Chains A and B, each alone.
Chain A
Amino acid sequence: MIAPYLTQKTWLHRIAAGYKLLALAVISIGFTQLSDWRSLLGATLAVLALYLLTILGHWSRLRLYTPLLPLLIGIGALQACASGWEMAVVSITRLVAMILLADLVTATTPMLAMMDALAPLLRPLRRIGVDENQVSLAVALVIRFMPVLLNEWTQRGEAWRARTGRRPPLRLLAPFAADIIRLADHVAEALDSRGFQVKRSQERSKD
Protein backbone atom coordinates (compact mmCIF):
# COMPACT_ATOMS: atom_id res chain seq x y z
CA MET A 1 0.00 0.00 0.00
CA ILE A 2 1.31 3.43 -0.86
CA ALA A 3 1.19 5.65 2.20
CA PRO A 4 -0.06 9.15 1.48
CA TYR A 5 2.45 10.65 3.89
CA LEU A 6 5.90 11.44 2.46
CA THR A 7 8.51 10.38 4.98
CA GLN A 8 11.28 12.31 3.33
CA LYS A 9 11.25 15.87 4.66
CA THR A 10 10.45 18.68 2.26
CA TRP A 11 10.11 22.41 2.81
CA LEU A 12 6.37 21.98 3.29
CA HIS A 13 6.93 19.61 6.22
CA ARG A 14 8.28 22.51 8.25
CA ILE A 15 5.08 24.57 8.04
CA ALA A 16 2.50 24.00 10.79
CA ALA A 17 -0.52 21.89 9.83
CA GLY A 18 -2.97 24.64 10.76
CA TYR A 19 -1.43 27.12 8.32
CA LYS A 20 -1.41 24.58 5.54
CA LEU A 21 -5.10 23.82 6.08
CA LEU A 22 -5.90 27.52 6.18
CA ALA A 23 -3.96 28.14 2.98
CA LEU A 24 -5.79 25.24 1.34
CA ALA A 25 -9.16 26.68 2.33
CA VAL A 26 -8.26 30.18 1.06
CA ILE A 27 -6.85 28.90 -2.23
CA SER A 28 -9.87 26.68 -2.83
CA ILE A 29 -12.11 29.73 -2.53
CA GLY A 30 -9.79 31.57 -4.90
CA PHE A 31 -10.10 28.82 -7.48
CA THR A 32 -13.88 28.93 -7.47
CA GLN A 33 -13.68 32.68 -8.17
CA LEU A 34 -11.51 32.21 -11.26
CA SER A 35 -13.61 31.49 -14.31
CA ASP A 36 -11.41 32.37 -17.28
CA TRP A 37 -9.88 29.20 -18.74
CA ARG A 38 -6.52 30.86 -19.48
CA SER A 39 -5.89 32.01 -15.92
CA LEU A 40 -7.16 28.70 -14.54
CA LEU A 41 -4.86 26.76 -16.84
CA GLY A 42 -1.94 28.94 -15.78
CA ALA A 43 -2.73 28.55 -12.08
CA THR A 44 -3.11 24.80 -12.47
CA LEU A 45 0.21 24.47 -14.27
CA ALA A 46 1.82 26.45 -11.44
CA VAL A 47 0.24 24.09 -8.89
CA LEU A 48 1.42 21.09 -10.89
CA ALA A 49 4.96 22.46 -10.99
CA LEU A 50 4.87 23.07 -7.23
CA TYR A 51 3.57 19.55 -6.68
CA LEU A 52 6.20 17.87 -8.84
CA LEU A 53 9.00 19.93 -7.29
CA THR A 54 7.87 19.01 -3.79
CA ILE A 55 7.53 15.28 -4.33
CA LEU A 56 10.72 15.25 -6.44
CA GLY A 57 12.01 11.69 -6.70
CA HIS A 58 8.87 10.05 -5.31
CA TRP A 59 7.23 9.40 -8.62
CA SER A 60 5.47 6.29 -7.35
CA ARG A 61 3.08 8.70 -5.66
CA LEU A 62 1.70 9.64 -9.07
CA ARG A 63 0.39 6.11 -9.40
CA LEU A 64 -2.30 7.00 -6.85
CA TYR A 65 -3.82 9.19 -9.54
CA THR A 66 -4.34 6.48 -12.14
CA PRO A 67 -7.90 5.61 -11.00
CA LEU A 68 -8.77 9.28 -11.45
CA LEU A 69 -7.60 9.53 -15.06
CA PRO A 70 -10.46 7.78 -16.90
CA LEU A 71 -12.89 9.77 -14.78
CA LEU A 72 -11.27 13.10 -15.67
CA ILE A 73 -11.15 12.17 -19.35
CA GLY A 74 -14.81 11.17 -19.23
CA ILE A 75 -15.84 14.40 -17.53
CA GLY A 76 -13.74 16.42 -19.98
CA ALA A 77 -15.28 14.70 -23.00
CA LEU A 78 -18.83 15.16 -21.72
CA GLN A 79 -18.19 18.82 -20.96
CA ALA A 80 -16.53 19.46 -24.30
CA CYS A 81 -19.51 17.99 -26.17
CA ALA A 82 -22.14 19.69 -24.05
CA SER A 83 -20.75 23.16 -23.48
CA GLY A 84 -17.55 23.62 -25.47
CA TRP A 85 -13.91 22.90 -24.78
CA GLU A 86 -13.38 26.09 -22.73
CA MET A 87 -15.82 24.80 -20.10
CA ALA A 88 -14.10 21.42 -20.17
CA VAL A 89 -10.74 23.07 -19.47
CA VAL A 90 -12.25 25.14 -16.67
CA SER A 91 -13.78 22.23 -14.79
CA ILE A 92 -10.85 19.85 -15.29
CA THR A 93 -8.21 22.36 -14.23
CA ARG A 94 -10.18 23.35 -11.15
CA LEU A 95 -10.50 19.72 -10.09
CA VAL A 96 -6.90 18.82 -10.79
CA ALA A 97 -5.46 21.87 -9.04
CA MET A 98 -7.49 21.36 -5.88
CA ILE A 99 -6.78 17.63 -5.71
CA LEU A 100 -3.05 18.25 -6.12
CA LEU A 101 -2.98 20.98 -3.47
CA ALA A 102 -4.95 18.95 -0.94
CA ASP A 103 -2.71 16.00 -1.62
CA LEU A 104 0.35 18.17 -0.98
CA VAL A 105 -0.97 19.01 2.48
CA THR A 106 -1.58 15.32 3.20
CA ALA A 107 1.82 14.34 1.82
CA THR A 108 3.69 16.73 4.08
CA THR A 109 1.70 16.55 7.31
CA PRO A 110 1.95 13.62 9.73
CA MET A 111 -1.41 12.19 10.81
CA LEU A 112 -0.95 13.19 14.44
CA ALA A 113 -0.21 16.80 13.53
CA MET A 114 -3.33 16.82 11.38
CA MET A 115 -5.41 15.43 14.28
CA ASP A 116 -4.04 18.16 16.55
CA ALA A 117 -4.88 20.83 13.99
CA LEU A 118 -8.41 19.47 13.72
CA ALA A 119 -9.01 19.15 17.49
CA PRO A 120 -10.37 22.72 17.87
CA LEU A 121 -12.87 21.94 15.14
CA LEU A 122 -14.07 18.89 17.09
CA ARG A 123 -14.68 20.89 20.26
CA PRO A 124 -18.21 22.00 19.32
CA LEU A 125 -19.14 18.30 19.41
CA ARG A 126 -19.07 18.60 23.20
CA ARG A 127 -22.46 20.20 22.99
CA ILE A 128 -23.94 16.93 21.78
CA GLY A 129 -21.98 15.00 24.38
CA VAL A 130 -18.93 13.85 22.42
CA ASP A 131 -15.58 15.09 23.65
CA GLU A 132 -12.16 14.99 22.02
CA ASN A 133 -10.95 12.19 24.29
CA GLN A 134 -13.68 9.94 23.02
CA VAL A 135 -12.72 10.77 19.46
CA SER A 136 -9.07 10.00 20.08
CA LEU A 137 -9.96 6.72 21.80
CA ALA A 138 -12.10 5.83 18.80
CA VAL A 139 -9.31 6.68 16.36
CA ALA A 140 -6.84 4.54 18.29
CA LEU A 141 -9.32 1.67 18.39
CA VAL A 142 -9.93 1.79 14.64
CA ILE A 143 -6.21 1.54 13.96
CA ARG A 144 -5.91 -1.35 16.41
CA PHE A 145 -8.99 -3.18 15.11
CA MET A 146 -7.97 -3.21 11.47
CA PRO A 147 -5.27 -5.91 11.66
CA VAL A 148 -7.47 -7.90 14.06
CA LEU A 149 -10.36 -7.89 11.61
CA LEU A 150 -8.15 -8.82 8.67
CA ASN A 151 -6.65 -11.63 10.69
CA GLU A 152 -10.06 -12.94 11.80
CA TRP A 153 -11.32 -12.91 8.24
CA THR A 154 -8.21 -14.55 6.79
CA GLN A 155 -8.40 -17.35 9.35
CA ARG A 156 -12.02 -18.02 8.45
CA GLY A 157 -11.17 -17.97 4.77
CA GLU A 158 -8.31 -20.40 5.24
CA ALA A 159 -10.40 -22.75 7.36
CA TRP A 160 -13.06 -22.70 4.67
CA ARG A 161 -10.54 -23.35 1.93
CA ALA A 162 -8.96 -26.20 3.87
CA ARG A 163 -12.34 -27.91 4.25
CA THR A 164 -13.88 -27.25 0.85
CA GLY A 165 -11.03 -26.37 -1.49
CA ARG A 166 -13.02 -23.41 -2.72
CA ARG A 167 -12.83 -19.69 -2.21
CA PRO A 168 -14.60 -18.34 0.86
CA PRO A 169 -18.16 -17.22 0.06
CA LEU A 170 -19.88 -14.08 1.24
CA ARG A 171 -21.88 -16.29 3.57
CA LEU A 172 -18.95 -16.27 6.00
CA LEU A 173 -19.63 -12.60 6.63
CA ALA A 174 -22.60 -13.32 8.88
CA PRO A 175 -20.88 -15.33 11.64
CA PHE A 176 -17.92 -13.00 11.18
CA ALA A 177 -20.11 -9.97 11.93
CA ALA A 178 -21.63 -11.65 14.98
CA ASP A 179 -18.19 -12.64 16.31
CA ILE A 180 -16.55 -9.27 15.88
CA ILE A 181 -19.44 -7.58 17.67
CA ARG A 182 -18.92 -9.97 20.56
CA LEU A 183 -15.22 -9.11 20.41
CA ALA A 184 -16.06 -5.40 20.57
CA ASP A 185 -18.18 -5.92 23.66
CA HIS A 186 -15.33 -7.75 25.38
CA VAL A 187 -13.05 -4.83 24.60
CA ALA A 188 -15.62 -2.42 26.02
CA GLU A 189 -15.90 -4.47 29.22
CA ALA A 190 -12.14 -4.57 29.52
CA LEU A 191 -11.92 -0.80 29.09
CA ASP A 192 -14.65 -0.21 31.65
CA SER A 193 -13.17 -2.57 34.21
CA ARG A 194 -9.86 -0.79 33.89
CA GLY A 195 -11.51 2.45 34.83
CA PHE A 196 -11.95 4.01 31.43
CA GLN A 197 -15.35 5.49 31.97
CA VAL A 198 -16.58 8.01 29.50
CA LYS A 199 -19.28 10.45 30.33
CA ARG A 200 -20.75 8.54 33.23
CA SER A 201 -21.58 11.77 35.03
CA GLN A 202 -23.55 13.07 32.06
CA GLU A 203 -25.42 9.85 31.65
CA ARG A 204 -26.49 9.92 35.24
CA SER A 205 -27.77 13.47 34.93
CA LYS A 206 -29.72 12.40 31.87
CA ASP A 207 -31.48 9.53 33.64
Chain B
Amino acid sequence: MFDTRDIVRISLFAALIAAMGLFPRLDIPVAGGVPITLQTLGVMLAGALLGPWRGTASVLLFLLLVAVGAPLLAGGRGGLGVFFGPTAGYLIGWVPGAYAIGWLMQKTWPGNLFLRAYVAALIGGVLVIHAVGFSYLAWKVGMSLQQAAVADFVFVPGDILKALACAYVVSIAGPRGFGAPKHTS
Protein backbone atom coordinates (compact mmCIF):
# COMPACT_ATOMS: atom_id res chain seq x y z
CA MET B 1 0.00 0.00 0.00
CA PHE B 2 2.82 2.44 0.87
CA ASP B 3 6.25 2.58 -0.77
CA THR B 4 9.42 3.87 0.86
CA ARG B 5 8.73 7.44 -0.19
CA ASP B 6 5.28 7.31 1.37
CA ILE B 7 6.60 5.86 4.61
CA VAL B 8 9.24 8.57 4.89
CA ARG B 9 6.69 11.32 4.22
CA ILE B 10 4.25 9.80 6.69
CA SER B 11 7.01 9.73 9.31
CA LEU B 12 8.05 13.26 8.44
CA PHE B 13 4.58 14.66 9.11
CA ALA B 14 4.22 12.62 12.29
CA ALA B 15 7.51 14.19 13.38
CA LEU B 16 6.17 17.60 12.34
CA ILE B 17 3.10 17.15 14.54
CA ALA B 18 5.42 16.11 17.37
CA ALA B 19 7.81 19.02 16.81
CA MET B 20 4.91 21.47 16.81
CA GLY B 21 4.28 20.53 20.41
CA LEU B 22 7.78 21.74 21.23
CA PHE B 23 8.18 24.69 18.88
CA PRO B 24 9.04 27.94 20.48
CA ARG B 25 5.87 29.96 20.18
CA LEU B 26 4.98 31.22 16.77
CA ASP B 27 3.14 34.48 16.46
CA ILE B 28 -0.37 33.29 17.00
CA PRO B 29 -2.68 35.40 19.13
CA VAL B 30 -3.99 33.65 22.18
CA ALA B 31 -7.75 33.24 22.35
CA GLY B 32 -9.42 33.76 25.68
CA GLY B 33 -6.30 33.12 27.71
CA VAL B 34 -6.10 29.54 26.48
CA PRO B 35 -2.67 28.75 25.10
CA ILE B 36 -2.97 27.21 21.69
CA THR B 37 -0.92 24.23 20.69
CA LEU B 38 0.20 24.19 17.12
CA GLN B 39 -0.24 20.46 16.86
CA THR B 40 -3.63 20.67 15.19
CA LEU B 41 -1.96 22.72 12.47
CA GLY B 42 0.40 19.78 11.92
CA VAL B 43 -2.59 17.47 11.60
CA MET B 44 -4.26 19.81 9.08
CA LEU B 45 -1.06 20.05 7.04
CA ALA B 46 -0.62 16.28 7.04
CA GLY B 47 -4.12 15.82 5.64
CA ALA B 48 -3.85 18.65 3.13
CA LEU B 49 -0.36 17.94 1.82
CA LEU B 50 -0.23 14.14 2.01
CA GLY B 51 -3.76 13.25 0.96
CA PRO B 52 -6.36 11.26 2.89
CA TRP B 53 -4.63 7.91 3.38
CA ARG B 54 -1.10 9.04 4.04
CA GLY B 55 -2.34 11.94 6.15
CA THR B 56 -4.38 9.56 8.28
CA ALA B 57 -1.45 7.15 8.55
CA SER B 58 0.71 10.04 9.73
CA VAL B 59 -1.72 10.93 12.51
CA LEU B 60 -2.11 7.29 13.54
CA LEU B 61 1.66 6.90 13.70
CA PHE B 62 1.92 9.96 15.92
CA LEU B 63 -0.85 8.68 18.21
CA LEU B 64 0.86 5.25 18.38
CA LEU B 65 4.03 6.94 19.60
CA VAL B 66 2.06 8.89 22.19
CA ALA B 67 0.28 5.73 23.34
CA VAL B 68 3.50 3.81 23.88
CA GLY B 69 4.73 6.60 26.11
CA ALA B 70 6.56 9.21 24.05
CA PRO B 71 5.94 12.62 25.69
CA LEU B 72 5.03 14.27 22.41
CA LEU B 73 1.80 16.08 23.18
CA ALA B 74 2.11 19.79 23.94
CA GLY B 75 3.41 20.27 27.45
CA GLY B 76 5.33 17.00 27.42
CA ARG B 77 2.33 14.79 27.99
CA GLY B 78 2.14 11.29 26.65
CA GLY B 79 1.40 7.73 27.56
CA LEU B 80 -1.80 5.76 27.84
CA GLY B 81 -3.22 8.17 30.41
CA VAL B 82 -4.12 10.76 27.79
CA PHE B 83 -6.41 8.27 26.05
CA PHE B 84 -8.40 7.86 29.26
CA GLY B 85 -8.68 11.59 29.87
CA PRO B 86 -11.77 13.69 29.17
CA THR B 87 -10.20 15.36 26.14
CA ALA B 88 -9.06 12.17 24.40
CA GLY B 89 -11.79 12.76 21.80
CA TYR B 90 -9.84 15.66 20.36
CA LEU B 91 -6.90 13.33 19.71
CA ILE B 92 -9.11 10.59 18.28
CA GLY B 93 -10.81 13.23 16.14
CA TRP B 94 -7.48 14.00 14.46
CA VAL B 95 -7.80 10.72 12.55
CA PRO B 96 -11.10 11.39 10.72
CA GLY B 97 -10.12 15.08 10.62
CA ALA B 98 -6.93 14.46 8.65
CA TYR B 99 -8.78 12.05 6.37
CA ALA B 100 -11.56 14.55 5.70
CA ILE B 101 -9.10 17.32 4.84
CA GLY B 102 -7.18 15.09 2.45
CA TRP B 103 -10.38 13.88 0.83
CA LEU B 104 -11.79 17.38 0.44
CA MET B 105 -8.53 18.63 -1.04
CA GLN B 106 -8.75 15.98 -3.73
CA LYS B 107 -12.20 17.08 -4.81
CA THR B 108 -12.06 19.63 -7.55
CA TRP B 109 -13.99 22.70 -6.60
CA PRO B 110 -14.12 26.12 -8.10
CA GLY B 111 -11.93 28.62 -6.35
CA ASN B 112 -8.24 28.99 -5.85
CA LEU B 113 -6.00 26.75 -3.82
CA PHE B 114 -6.05 28.97 -0.74
CA LEU B 115 -9.83 28.97 -0.56
CA ARG B 116 -10.11 25.23 -1.15
CA ALA B 117 -7.51 24.49 1.51
CA TYR B 118 -9.23 26.87 3.92
CA VAL B 119 -12.63 25.25 3.47
CA ALA B 120 -11.10 21.76 3.76
CA ALA B 121 -9.22 22.72 6.93
CA LEU B 122 -12.34 24.30 8.41
CA ILE B 123 -14.50 21.26 7.77
CA GLY B 124 -11.95 18.55 8.53
CA GLY B 125 -9.70 20.32 10.99
CA VAL B 126 -12.22 22.33 12.97
CA LEU B 127 -15.68 20.84 12.48
CA VAL B 128 -14.80 17.14 12.47
CA ILE B 129 -12.18 17.30 15.24
CA HIS B 130 -14.36 19.41 17.53
CA ALA B 131 -17.46 17.31 16.87
CA VAL B 132 -15.62 14.14 17.86
CA GLY B 133 -13.96 15.98 20.74
CA PHE B 134 -17.01 17.34 22.47
CA SER B 135 -19.17 14.28 21.79
CA TYR B 136 -16.52 12.18 23.51
CA LEU B 137 -16.32 14.66 26.38
CA ALA B 138 -20.09 14.55 26.81
CA TRP B 139 -20.12 10.75 26.73
CA LYS B 140 -17.13 10.35 29.02
CA VAL B 141 -18.31 12.60 31.84
CA GLY B 142 -22.04 12.30 31.28
CA MET B 143 -22.75 15.92 30.36
CA SER B 144 -25.35 16.88 27.82
CA LEU B 145 -24.10 17.55 24.30
CA GLN B 146 -25.08 21.20 24.59
CA GLN B 147 -23.02 21.70 27.76
CA ALA B 148 -20.00 20.07 26.16
CA ALA B 149 -20.42 22.11 22.99
CA VAL B 150 -20.45 25.33 25.01
CA ALA B 151 -17.26 24.33 26.84
CA ASP B 152 -15.73 23.38 23.50
CA PHE B 153 -16.49 26.71 21.90
CA VAL B 154 -13.62 28.49 23.68
CA PHE B 155 -11.16 26.58 21.51
CA VAL B 156 -12.81 27.19 18.16
CA PRO B 157 -11.33 30.64 17.37
CA GLY B 158 -7.78 29.36 17.77
CA ASP B 159 -8.44 26.47 15.46
CA ILE B 160 -9.99 28.75 12.85
CA LEU B 161 -6.73 30.69 12.87
CA LYS B 162 -4.85 27.43 12.42
CA ALA B 163 -7.06 26.57 9.45
CA LEU B 164 -6.09 29.93 7.95
CA ALA B 165 -2.42 29.19 8.55
CA CYS B 166 -2.83 25.77 6.98
CA ALA B 167 -4.51 27.24 3.89
CA TYR B 168 -1.73 29.81 3.61
CA VAL B 169 1.01 27.19 3.77
CA VAL B 170 -0.77 24.95 1.27
CA SER B 171 -1.34 27.85 -1.14
CA ILE B 172 2.37 28.66 -1.13
CA ALA B 173 3.95 25.25 -0.72
CA GLY B 174 1.66 24.32 -3.55
CA PRO B 175 -0.40 21.35 -4.57
CA ARG B 176 2.32 20.00 -6.79
CA GLY B 177 4.16 16.88 -5.76
CA PHE B 178 2.71 16.20 -2.38
CA GLY B 179 -0.37 14.27 -3.24
CA ALA B 180 1.14 13.40 -6.60
CA PRO B 181 1.28 9.86 -7.91
CA LYS B 182 4.23 7.77 -6.82
CA HIS B 183 7.26 7.90 -9.01
CA THR B 184 7.79 4.67 -10.86
CA SER B 185 11.29 3.42 -11.22
Contacts and interface: CB of A to CB of B under 8 A. Distances in A.
B87 A71 contact: yes
Interface centre among B61, B86, B147, B168 (most CB of A within 10 A): B86
A99 B79 CA distance: 10
B141 interface: yes
On chain B, which size bracket covers the interface? 35 or more
Contacts of A3: 71, 76
A92 B142 CA distance: 10
A99 B169 contact: no
A4 B76 CA distance: 8
Interface in B78-93: 78-81, 83-87
A79 interface: yes
Contacts, number: 206
A178 interface: yes
Contacts of A99: 81, 84-85
Given A91-B142, A145-B16, A191-B8, 10 more contacts: A2-B76, A99-B84, A106-B78, A106-B79, A139-B64, A146-B19, A149-B16, A170-B28, A184-B9, A188-B9
Interface of A: 1-5, 24, 28, 64, 67-68, 71-72, 74-75, 78-79, 82-83, 87, 90-92, 95, 98-103, 105-107, 109-111, 114-115, 118, 128-130, 134-135, 137-139, 141-143, 145-146, 148-150, 153-154, 157, 167-171, 173-175, 177-178, 180-181, 183-185, 187-188, 191-192, 196-200, 202-203
Interface of B: 1-5, 7-12, 14-16, 18-19, 22-24, 26-28, 45, 49, 61-62, 64-65, 67-71, 75-81, 83-87, 140-144, 147, 151, 165, 168-169, 172-174, 177-178, 185
